[in-house]
Amino acid sequence: MAGKLKKYILTTLKFGVTAVALYFVFRKINFSEILALYRTADIMYLIAALLLFAGSKVLSSLRLNLLFHRIGIPLSSATNMKLYLIGMFYNLFLPGGIGGDGYKIYLLNRHFDVKARKILGAVFMDRVAGIVMLWVVALCFLYFVDPHIPYRFLIFIAIPLLFAGLYLGMRWLFRDYLSVYLPISIYSIGVQLMQVLCAFCILMAFHHHEQNFSYLFLFLISSIVTIIPITVGGAGMREITFLYGAQFLGVDTHLSVALSLMFYFITVIVSFFGIYFVIKPLKFEKQPLNL
């Protein structure tokens, strides 16, 4: 009973923080200007953005499946993609309770003779690899945002350190995954670049062609901020990041918030497809282990 009460409280707090954050953002902007951007948006670019985001999630699921195979879970790529969509649905539409990652761990632990601790380790390693490469891509974009950034040369030191940090962390703490260090790094960079291209297509849909590196850098920083799960699907926190980041970089705040909201809508659309596999029992198809 106490556990359920705690989940309800945490869920209520998430919705509360999301509502307050969005209310704060909408008080600072003229929402009619954002609606004007949406009314004149190029639908073909928005479709391209949707497909790129969906593609980034396919790459994410392939990265995770590499880690699952390393611990003896022979999931087929198709089954893992379905499981990934279930996780996205749970995270976005059912933010309380067990959560997307927890539900994946529960299902895999039921269907395979692998300890939950090892499955948790694979999911954790997947997240860490994604976050490290998100920082790598963000630093690359920072280099082009402002040529007058103090100590700009340090970016060329920080990026190799991030790669080395990921490698050493796997070597010391997650040796099971060391053999797939290179492919998961490549997958992770691919994921981030596809999402950057998604954001770029949204900008093109809004007929914007200036200071794109600044907007895309803000997009990457907002992705880092939303890793902290204090709102529903990152809504609110992403918009606040864009709002203040746009003011700091001297770019259009309305375009920034419009980009942020459109990316969230695209996330909702893709995540909603997971409901099909929530309703219909998932069949765990296997394939030979990729070792």
Per-residue pLDDT of 133-145, as tens digits, reads 999 999 999 888 8
Residue 286 belongs to some domain of the structure = no
User: Quick check: pTM over 0.85?
Assistant: yes
pLDDT at 7: 64
| pLDDT score of 2 more than 60 | no
Q: Which residues contact 228 (CB under 8 A, 6 or more apart)?
A: 237
Mean of all residue pLDDT scores within the chain: 86
For residue 19, the model assigns a pLDDT of: 80
Query: For position 51, what pLDDT does the model report?
Result: 97
Most confident of 25-34, 63-72, 194-203, 246-255: 194-203
Domain residue limits at 102: 2-279
| Domain-embedded: residue 285 | no
* 141 found inside a domain: yes
Q: Answer with the residue of higher pLDDT: 125 or 11.
A: 125
Evaluate whether residue 90 is within a structural domain: yes
| Any domain includes 290 | no
Confidence of residue 164 (pLDDT cuts 50, 70, 90): very high
pLDDT at 218 over 90: yes
Averaged pLDDT, 90-115: 77
The pLDDT of residue 41 is above 70: yes
Residue 276: pLDDT band (50, 70, 90) is confident
Q: Tell me, yes or no, whether 70 lies in a domain.
A: yes
Q: For the chain, how many structural domains are there in total? A: 1
Q: Is residue 287 part of a domain?
A: no
Let me know if residue 46 belongs to a domain: yes
